[in-house]
Amino acid sequence: MFFFDTTYLWYVLIPTVVLSLGVQLYLKATVSKWSNARNSQGLTGIQVGQALFQRTSLKPIPLERTPGTLSDHFDPRSNVVRLSEAVANQPSVAAMAITAHELGHVEQHQARSPWIVMRNILLPALQFSPMVSYIAILVGFWLNMTGLIWIGIAFFGLMVVFMLLTLPVEIDASRRGLRLLRQANLLQTEAEAGGARQVLSAAALTYVAAAVTAVLQLLYYISLVSRRN
């Protein structure tokens, strides 16, 4: 249905594909550049994490290695930070920045950040809202049931709200991570600090791209209903 709609092609598909590809290319180039730049302390990602636990008010949690590239994440359910092999084992500026970002998430949870609390409220609904939204929208158009389409759009809107809330969560985690690095005295030069900020800014753009994609998709669904009426 959507791929034969020129409105979808020009205002949703093409802009989001171009945006996503551009962000991914920029992220890979930035991470590659600073992955080849050794941090002044010569610490791997795992060692950076250990130093932050020792030198700041963070409560220590396990640091584990995980396969994949840019697969680093904090798992609040298991209360563990998982670092990709490249980040865990390399003494680079990129590894330092990415580790600090994940520990920024740890600090958010330990401090009960309002952004985390708000996002967690939506998590139960997010388990089923994608399936419900797409089924309701498709069936609603197929059966010409406008009310069902709006129900699908409402559930899709929950996903959009979640993605929009993710932006301040990720930006705040980066801000906290950089502050933790300074508290631990791990940022020794302006070039190093600038490199860390570049890596974290590039990573944040991926969430911006995802949010823009979701908003454009939502507006498109709403426009379809308006055009039918």
The catalytic residue among 102, 107, 170, 192 is 102
Report d(CA 37, CA 144) in Å as an integer: 58
Q: What is the pLDDT of residues 83-137, one digit of tens each?
A: 999 999 999 999 999 999 999 999 999 999 998 888 888 888 788 899 999 999 9
Burial class (CB in 10 A: 0-12, 13-18, 19+), 5: middle
Average pLDDT over residues 136-158: 94
Sheet holding 63-66, edge to edge: 63-66, 80-84, 73-75
More confident site: 122 or 23: 23
Domain count, the chain: 1
Nearest to 87 by CA among 107, 68, 109: 68
- What is the length of the chain? 229
pLDDT band at 15 (very low <50, low <70, confident <90, very high): very high
Residue 181 pLDDT: 97
Domain that includes residue 192, residue range:
2-228
Residue 229 pLDDT: 65
**Active site annotation includes 102:** yes
- Give the dihedral sign, CA 149/153/155/159: positive
Q: What is the pLDDT of residues 198-214, one digit of tens each?
A: 999 999 999 999 999 99
pTM of the model: 0.92
